[in-house]
Structure 1
Amino acid sequence: MPAPERIPEVGLNGSGPDPRDIEALQHGELTVRGQIRDASNAVLYCEAVHGGRTVACVYKPVAGERPLWDFPDGTLAQREVAAYLVSEATGWGLVPPTVLRDGPYGEGMVQLWVGPPVPAAEDGEPADGSDDTSPDGDPGAEDAQDGEAPAGADDEEAGSGDIEDVGALLALTEDAEPAPGWKAVVEAELENGRSALLVHADDMRLRRLAVLDAVLNNADRKGGHFLPGPGGRLYGIDHGVTFHTENKLRTLLWGWAGEPLPAEAVTVLEKLSAHLSGALGERLAELLTPAETAALGERVRVLLETGRHPVPGGDWPSIPWPPV
């Protein structure tokens, strides 16, 4: 099994989001160009135009959210924005710029598109060929912003000792142990009766995302919910099921479970703890309940106290399903 390809990292002082993009997301004229059909909630592909600048973006109206048994109705958009604010406070920039604003179907979350723009259809139909851009579309599986197949492996092609390359981040292997440069997640049963080991790259970008997910209490870190960006960046998307007061961490990034946190992560968590007592805490109070913001601070405190990545535990399933 080859070691994953290394991509240059973006450090804590790396370039942040373009302020012009954020202005366009927040104040631009929002035009729906299509609907991403493979999504559990309404996800609309849009363009935002402001000051002569046009940016591609995703618009998730609150009106298109499906009710969940364990989260209050109509709160997913706010949680997505809160996740972006926490990500920005870490300095890692792991979540694309995200704002809460009014749109063609009411208030919702608007997030900068990651990946190449989707071309408009020649016949004037939406970009995906759908004739339904209302928030009551045909939801299916969870969405991936770039419209490509989510990270996963084709178990029919995996031979003994071979690895399926899925962007050098996630893979299935029939080796009993992960090769150097990889971390084991879980043993999986394939449809043909064979078993395989799910592994992820021992990559600092993924490790930062694992720390952020522990802070956010992310209940749905699937393989299709992290996307490569320009310049070696890695982004996490779909943070609607975060910030619950109960432990709901469910992720594919368990490879560092129980290991000491990197020194960089400790420094970031210390700064984040201070930010939560200031302007960040005030902004989050507009998006989350007092109990949720208190639980967020407690998770940061526990991470600093233990100095280790969390481990799976309790009755809550630790691996999202489907994992991709």
Structure 2
Amino acid sequence: MTPANSDPDSAVVANEVLRRGDITVIGRIRSASNATFLCEAHLGEQQAHCVYKPIAGEAPLWDFPEGTLAGRELAAYLVSDALGWNIVPYTIIRDGPAGRGMLQLWVDQPGESLTEVGDEPADGPDLVDLLPAGQVPPGFLPILQAYDYAGAEVTLVHADDTRLWRMAVFDVLINNADRKGGHILSGVDGQVYGVDHGVSLHVEDKLRTVLWGWAGKPVDDSTLAAVAALREQLGNGLADVLGDHITEREIAALLARTAALLDDPVMPTPDRRRPIPWPAF
């Protein structure tokens, strides 16, 4: 099996397997709120694991009445790809065992790999973690004081990491309403991936994220260059591609958020209703 986007050659193979391979369901991911399956895609002697979310298994959402969650997942991938940041694993929409739906390459994580034996998570906090109050280590940013289920005071933190920084900017652009800690995956390839973008790209401000550590901070020039490239691509064909999956108003809102960040390159602050998704993981 090929991990998501581990190297250019293997990623090309895995993408082709996902596009053209036969899909076999291995099991259901029961922690997901909609029908979500772990699958294998087979093409000749090649195989790749993937997440499959059939459109028929989507529960309607009153505040996202148009389109499909699968379409938003694919649109988020297309924005990630246009930015060149490799945040969202390769994602497509095609027919599967339960009908048409979203397929996304599985991300192998240390200690949880489907194919590798002996990988162990690194010592220390996760990229997003709950730590005892007053024990925030160097290289981490405190987000929220809270109480755990036992009543102990804890601090929600995330790493001061470039990979998360780009994800935070990406979430601002796609207006991600559900960036939980569990939607941030550390791959065995050293990449950090974001998943579960079905509630994104709304026209109204719905940003809810655990990545508030850079609130009010300026956006650097290299990041802005990628955002400018996204704006250019939106005017040169990307908007038409996105139009197959989200509405014209949502595309216009995406373009407006892109322009707003370029005009005022400062990260937003959590002065809004429900700025953090709950539970946070």
- Compute the TM-score of the two structures, normalised by the length of structure 1: 0.77
Q: Which residue in 1 is equivalent to 2:55?
A: 62
Query: Cα deviation per residue 1:136-180 (whole Å; 9 max; x = unaligned)?
Result: xxxxxxxxxxxxxxxxxxxxxxxxxxxx9442443423118x443
CA distance in 2 between partners of 1:49 and 1:72 (Å):
34
Higher fraction of helix: 2
Tell me if the contact between 2:133 and 2:145 (Cα under 8 Å) persists in the aligned partners. no
Whether 1:199 and 2:157 are equivalent positions in the alignment is yes
CA distance in 2 between partners of 1:110 and 1:266 (Å):
30
CA distance in 2 between partners of 1:254 and 1:32 (Å):
37
Instruction: Tell me the secondary structure at the aligned position of residue 196 of structure 1.
Output: strand
Would the alpha carbon gap of residues 291 and 74 (structure 1) be closer, same or farther in structure 2, given more than 3 Å must change? closer
Letter in 1 for 2:54: P
Whether 1:117 and 2:76 are equivalent positions in the alignment is no
Q: Which residue in 1 is equivalent to 2:91?
A: 98
Q: Which residue in 2 is equivalent to 1:256?
A: 214
Q: Which residue in 2 is equivalent to 1:22?
A: 15
Q: Give, in angstroms, the shift of residue 303 of structure 1.
A: 1.0
Whether 1:270 and 2:228 are equivalent positions in the alignment is yes
Instruction: Tell me the secondary structure at the aligned position of residue 301 of structure 1.
Output: helix
Tell me if the contact between 1:17 and 1:97 (Cα under 8 Å) persists in the aligned partners. no
Q: Which residue in 1 is equivalent to 2:65?
A: 72
Q: Give, in angstroms, the shift of residue 27 of structure 1.
A: 1.6
Q: Which residue in 2 is equivalent to 1:280?
A: 238
Whether 1:322 and 2:256 are equivalent positions in the alignment is no
Q: Which residue in 2 is equivalent to 1:81?
A: 74
Q: Which residue in 1 is equivalent to 2:132?
A: 173
Residues 42-51 or 110-119, more deviating: 110-119
Would the alpha carbon gap of residues 118 and 263 (structure 1) be closer, same or farther in structure 2, given more than 3 Å must change? same
Q: Which residue in 2 is equivalent to 1:160?
A: none
* Counterpart pick for 2:175 among 177, 196, 217: 217
CA distance in 2 between partners of 1:252 and 1:16 (Å):
33
Would the alpha carbon gap of residues 195 and 20 (structure 1) be closer, same or farther in structure 2, given more than 3 Å must change? same
Query: Cα deviation per residue 1:236-278 (whole Å; 9 max; x = unaligned)?
Result: 0001000000000000000000100122211111111101111
Q: Give, in angstroms, the shift of residue 82 of structure 1.
A: 0.6
Residues 99-108 or 110-119, more deviating: 110-119
Letter in 1 for 2:141: K
Q: How many percent of aligned residue pairs carry the same amino acid?
A: 47
Tell me if the contact between 1:63 and 1:74 (Cα under 8 Å) persists in the aligned partners. no
Q: Give, in angstroms, the shift of residue 217 of structure 1.
A: 0.5
Would the alpha carbon gap of residues 15 and 255 (structure 1) be closer, same or farther in structure 2, given more than 3 Å must change? farther
Instruction: Tell me the secondary structure at the aligned position of residue 288 of structure 1.
Output: coil
* Counterpart pick for 2:204 among 246, 249, 259: 246
Q: Give, in angstroms, the shift of residue 47 of structure 1.
A: 0.9
CA distance in 2 between partners of 1:17 and 1:66 (Å):
34
Aligned residues: 266
Would the alpha carbon gap of residues 175 and 91 (structure 1) be closer, same or farther in structure 2, given more than 3 Å must change? same
Letter in 1 for 2:29: I
CA distance in 2 between partners of 1:276 and 1:248 (Å):
22
Moved segments of 4+, more than 4 Å: 14-17
Tell me if the contact between 1:32 and 1:45 (Cα under 8 Å) persists in the aligned partners. yes
Flag structure 2 segments of 5+ consecutive residues without an equivalent: 117-122
Flag structure 1 segments of 5+ consecutive residues without an equivalent: 1-9, 120-163
Tell me if the contact between 2:128 and 2:156 (Cα under 8 Å) persists in the aligned partners. no
Instruction: Tell me the secondary structure at the aligned position of residue 272 of structure 1.
Output: helix
Query: Cα deviation per residue 1:96-123 (whole Å; 9 max; x = unaligned)?
Result: 000011111111000001112279xxxx
Tell me if the contact between 2:143 and 2:158 (Cα under 8 Å) persists in the aligned partners. yes
Alignment of 1:87-166 (within 5 A): 87-115=80-108, 116-117=113-114, 165-166=124-125
Letter in 2 for 1:117: L
Tell me if the contact between 1:67 and 1:73 (Cα under 8 Å) persists in the aligned partners. no
Would the alpha carbon gap of residues 224 and 301 (structure 1) be closer, same or farther in structure 2, given more than 3 Å must change? same
- Compute the TM-score of the two structures, normalised by the length of structure 2: 0.89
Q: Give, in angstroms, the shift of residue 185 of structure 1.
A: 0.8
